[in-house]
């Protein structure tokens, strides 16, 4: 990390320093100063274990999909988050399910945090100040970790912009002053994938037609020295047409998400009060067509809520209340074989409230302790009341030059479930509220971490060992064609059970200098056990990867920087069909042991290079060249039954996404 070395001649004015205001040092003037080296902030600043803060300004140098810098794809390069395939939009953190991770903007939950197949997240990185990443959900009502995009909190004095135009998409952010005490931040993004890359985007040898648009609007207002206000709006819309060969169907869907929030921070002399009121929503309108059947697939979830946190003399008091409405997948169909009577899946409404207190205290110079407890109250859609405690405790031992050791325990609870037919990032996944289908989820989470900087802070070593005991887990066992061709019932399509997750994450990071990056390794097990007599014993979860290696490196030459990422991981489990036959327009399969087989290893190398024609005084312009899957490796994303209508044959073989090698070019400009 760089150093500021300044010599100060004299102070011309006295300074009133407000301890609660991080930017209150406004009256300090320097008669003479000498800057010998500029502050060089690392891409990833770890605070404990493998959790920390990501600098969104620096992720452009790390290769991403088709030159589109993306914070969530960046997070997947960390050892605690499982790499996803090109057809899996999940974000699996330390063996947890995708829905166990809290994705948020300014602390407000975002449902559907990725666009189609997880190739892009809904977060435009140039809009945000930074990204906070943690393997522990903390006070959030989730069983896993959290990823929060931090809203901008700097008043701009003149119009600025960050623009990018590439072969895949166009995106930009405008920063506009709206007075001496307020600023407006507006971002928008639009893809035109089909124009140049339509023949590349294939799944199961079938083309995908797809595009999305999203935008952010944040207004930041500082009315007084002790108040900060944000009004934040996000909206996104996706449209896709793709073939689902296993079901012989063509699916066309429109899905959307968005949120509106108002945040207010107030600083007292010895306390800070943070409040947020918000509304967030995600939904799908989809249609599936086969030779004999037309089906309609609607689902959505929406939440309105209020949360407040008061920090005072080592105490953090927090209160949350939220109203949820979820529409589980509610299929309707018509056609020759639709002879079954079905009842509609009604929308669910529920209320949850959570209050907690956490106390932090140093004990001597080498030890810091945290302990707290919360209570959750939940009124289910059936008006059944659930409640439970949420205790947590942490200890951090500072060994000085030898590093820091952390120990953490938490009992976490969650009333939201996400499930569906594909587990592949398709919008067919849907949300369910605890109640009729299952009691709320809960888990015991343990973690032991170690962090140490060495070689004058140029390098860092991080490690975390974790164990989770998961209760009240749900998995979907139905298929899309069963929705249309049988007496569909959501309750009979769900498996109930518990689970375990344990493993270790290791990372060595080069934090400063021309060469930066890290090498990360993860070993993890994610196991499930069900109360169904057909499935006896422990089974790997669908997303389990036993081993994963990540290598990230960037080198800065001033006018040029280059970057590369290498990922190698064991394959995920799948259940192999033993026999199958065709009955009418239906395929009937007999399956073997659950998740008894694994896909082949996943290997991918991505490369990128940036050339800067302008890089000074807050202005930056350049050209980005990126290469996705430079090794041209054809990674399997699943197994499926493939048909050959001309020869009347069937085969069970790997399914690939169709991206073997894909270059992209983009120009960017910032002022």
What is the arithmetic mean of pLDDT over 349-360?
Answer: 97
Residue 640 pLDDT > 70, yes or no?
no
In a domain, 606, yes or no: yes
Which pLDDT score is estimated for 34? 35
Report residue 19's pLDDT band, with 50, 70 and 90 as the boundaries.
Answer: very low
**CA-to-CA distance for 93 and 503, rounded, in angstroms?**
11
**Helix (H), strand (E) counts: the chain:** 3, 41
155 and 34 assigned to the same domain:
no
Residue 10, domain extent: 1-39
In a domain, 637, yes or no: yes
Question: What pLDDT was estimated at residue 479?
Answer: 63
11, 87: one domain: no
In a domain, residue 305? The reply is yes
Burial 289-326 (b: 16+ CB within 10 A, else e): ebebbebebbbbbbbebebebbbeeeebbbbbebebbb
pLDDT band of residue 117 (cuts 50, 70, 90) is: low
Q: Which two tokens stand for residue 291?
A: 């030779």
pLDDT value of residue 616: 84
**8 Å CB contact between 500 and 527:** yes
The verdict on 117 and 172 lying in the same domain is: yes
Question: In the structure encoding, which two tokens stand for residue 634, read together?
Answer: 């054809």
Distance CA 70, CA 257 (A): 18
Is residue 420 in a domain? yes
Segment among 57-61, 62-66, 243-247, 327-331 with least mean pLDDT? 243-247
Same domain assignment for residues 15 and 141? no
- Asked if 418 and 386 sit in the same domain, the reply is yes
Close Cβ partners of 383 (under 8 Å, ≥ 6 residues apart)? none
Separation CA 39–CA 212 (nearest Å): 37
User: Considering only CA atoms, which of 28, 32, 15, 73 is closest in space to residue 628?
Assistant: 73
pLDDT of residue 64: 66
Same domain as 236, residue 143: yes
Residue 199 burial class via C-beta count within 10 angstroms: exposed 0-12, middle 13-18, buried 19 and up: exposed
Instruction: Tell me which H or E stretch contains 71.
Output: helix 71-75
What do you get for the CA distance between the two ends of the chain, in Å? Answer: 25
**pLDDT tens readout for residues 292-332:** 677 788 899 999 999 999 999 999 999 999 999 999 987 77
Residue 629: pLDDT over 80: yes
Burial class (CB in 10 A: 0-12, 13-18, 19+), 271: middle
- To the nearest whole number, what is the mean pLDDT of the chain? 83
**CA–CA dist 167, 529 (Å, integer):** 46
Q: Which of 39-48, 228-237, 337-346, 493-502 has the highest mean pLDDT?
A: 228-237
CATH code of the domain containing 368: 2.40.170.20
34 & 50 share domain:
no
Among the ranges given (19-23, 370-374, 383-387, 426-430), the one the predictor scored with the smallest mean pLDDT: 19-23
**Over 346-387, what HEC string results?**
CCEEEEEEEEEEEEEEEECCCEEEEEEEEEEEEECCCCCEEE
How much is the pLDDT for 457?
A: 85
The stretch 89-114 carries a mean pLDDT of 90
Q: Is residue 432 part of a domain?
A: yes
22-34 average pLDDT score: 36
Amino acid 496: pLDDT:
92
- Per-residue confidence (pLDDT) for residue 37, from 0 to 100: 36
Checking if the pLDDT of 12 tops 50, the result is no
Q: Are residues 8 and 65 in the same domain?
A: no
**Residue owning tokens 């949360």:** 307
Q: Is residue 619 in some structural domain? A: yes
The reply to whether 194 falls in a domain is yes
3-state helix, strand, coil in the chain (%, to 5): 5, 55, 35
Task: Tell me what pLDDT residue 67 has.
Answer: 59
Q: Considering only CA atoms, which of 138, 140, 107, 147 is closest in space to residue 408?
A: 138
Q: What is the number of domains present in the chain?
A: 2
Q: Are residues 72 and 20 in the same domain?
A: no
Considering the domain architecture, whether residues 391 and 445 belong to the same structural domain is answered as: yes
pLDDT digits (tens, 9 = 90+) for 532-571: 888 888 999 988 999 999 999 999 888 888 999 999 999 8
- In angstroms, rounded to a whole number, what is the distance separating the alpha carbons of residues 72 and 348? 30
Virtual CA dihedral for 55, 61, 63, 64, nearest 10 degrees?
Answer: 50
**Per the domain annotation, does 342 fall within a domain?**
no
Best CA proximity match to 64, nearest among 667, 606, 641, 643: 606
pLDDT at 11: 27
Q: Are residues 391 and 420 in the same domain?
A: yes
Query: Is residue 109 pLDDT above 90, yes or no?
Result: yes
- In this structure, is the dihedral angle defined by the CA atoms of residues 611, 614, 619 and 621, taken in order, positive or negative? negative
pLDDT of residue 39: 43
Q: Are residues 192 and 151 in the same domain?
A: yes
């Amino acid at each position: 990390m760089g150093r500021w070395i300044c010599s100060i001649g004299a102070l011309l004015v006295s300074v009133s320093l407000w301890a609660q205001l991080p930017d209150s040092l406004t009256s300090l003037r320097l008669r003479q100063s000498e800057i010998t080296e500029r502050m060089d902030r690392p891409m990833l600043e770890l605070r404990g274990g493998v959790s920390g803060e990501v600098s969104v300004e620096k992720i452009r140098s790390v290769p991403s999909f088709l030159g589109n810098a993306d914070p969530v794809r960046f997070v997947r390069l960390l050892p605690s988050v499982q790499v996803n395939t090109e057809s899996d939009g999940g974000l699996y953190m330390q063996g947890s399910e995708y829905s166990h991770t809290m994705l948020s903007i300014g602390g407000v939950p975002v449902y559907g945090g990725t666009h189609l197949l997880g190739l892009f997240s809904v977060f435009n990185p140039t809009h945000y100040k930074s990204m906070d990443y943690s393997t522990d959900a903390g006070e959030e009502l989730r069983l896993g970790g959290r990823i929060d995009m931090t809203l901008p909190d700097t008043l701009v004095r003149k119009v600025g912009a960050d623009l990018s135009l590439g072969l895949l998409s166009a995106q930009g952010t405008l920063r506009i002053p709206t007075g001496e005490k307020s600023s407006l931040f507006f971002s928008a993004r639009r893809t035109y994938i089909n124009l140049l890359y339509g023949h590349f985007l294939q799944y199961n040898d079938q083309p995908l037609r797809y595009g999305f648009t999203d935008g952010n609007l944040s207004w930041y207002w500082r009315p007084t020295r002790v108040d900060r206000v944000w009004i934040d709006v996000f909206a996104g819309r996706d449209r896709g047409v793709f073939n689902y060969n296993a079901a012989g169907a063509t699916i066309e869907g429109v899905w959307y998400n968005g949120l509106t929030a108002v945040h207010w921070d107030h600083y007292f002399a010895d306390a800070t009060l943070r409040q947020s009121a918000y509304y967030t929503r995600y939904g799908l309108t989809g249609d599936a067509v086969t030779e004999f059947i037309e089906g309609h697939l609607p689902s959505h979830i929406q939440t309105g809520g209020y949360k407040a946190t008061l920090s005072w003399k080592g105490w953090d008091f927090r209160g949350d209340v939220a109203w949820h409405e979820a529409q589980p997948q509610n299929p309707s169909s018509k056609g020759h074989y639709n002879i079954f009577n079905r009842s509609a899946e009604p929308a669910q409404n529920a209320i949850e409230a959570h209050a907690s207190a956490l106390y932090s205290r140093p004990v001597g110079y080498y030890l810091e302790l945290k302990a707290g407890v919360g209570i959750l109250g939940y009124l289910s859609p059936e008006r059944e009341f659930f409640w439970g405690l949420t205790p947590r405790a942490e200890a951090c031992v500072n060994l000085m030059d030898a590093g820091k050791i952390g120990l953490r325990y938490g009992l976490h609870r969650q009333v939201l479930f996400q499930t569906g037919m594909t587990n592949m990032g398709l919008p067919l996944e849907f949300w369910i509220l605890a109640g009729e289908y299952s009691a709320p989820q809960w888990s015991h989470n343990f973690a032991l971490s170690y962090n140490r900087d060495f070689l004058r802070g140029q390098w860092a070593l991080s490690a975390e060992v974790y164990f989770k005991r998961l209760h009240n887990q749900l998995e979907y066992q139905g298929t899309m064609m069963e929705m249309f061709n049988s007496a569909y019932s959501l309750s009979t399509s769900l498996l109930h059970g518990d689970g375990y997750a344990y493993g270790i994450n290791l990372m060595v990071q080069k934090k400063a200098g021309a060469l930066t990056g890290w090498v990360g390794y993860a070993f993890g097990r994610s196991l499930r056990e069900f109360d169904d007599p057909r499935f006896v014993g422990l089974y790997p979860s669908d997303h389990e990867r036993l081993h994963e290696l990540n290598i990230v490196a960037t080198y800065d030459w001033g006018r040029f920087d280059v970057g590369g990422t290498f990922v190698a991981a064991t394959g995920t489990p799948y259940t192999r069909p033993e026999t199958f036959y065709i009955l009418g327009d239906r395929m009937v399969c007999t399956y073997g042991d659950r998740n008894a087989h694994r896909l082949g290893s996943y290997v991918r190398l991505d490369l990128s290079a940036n050339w800067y024609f302008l890089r000074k005084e807050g202005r930056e312009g350049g050209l980005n060249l990126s290469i996705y899957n430079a090794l041209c490796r054809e990674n399997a994303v699943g197994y499926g039954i493939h048909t050959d209508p001309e020869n009347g044959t069937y085969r069970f073989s790997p399914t690939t996404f169709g991206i073997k090698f894909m270059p992209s070019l983009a120009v960017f400009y910032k002022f």
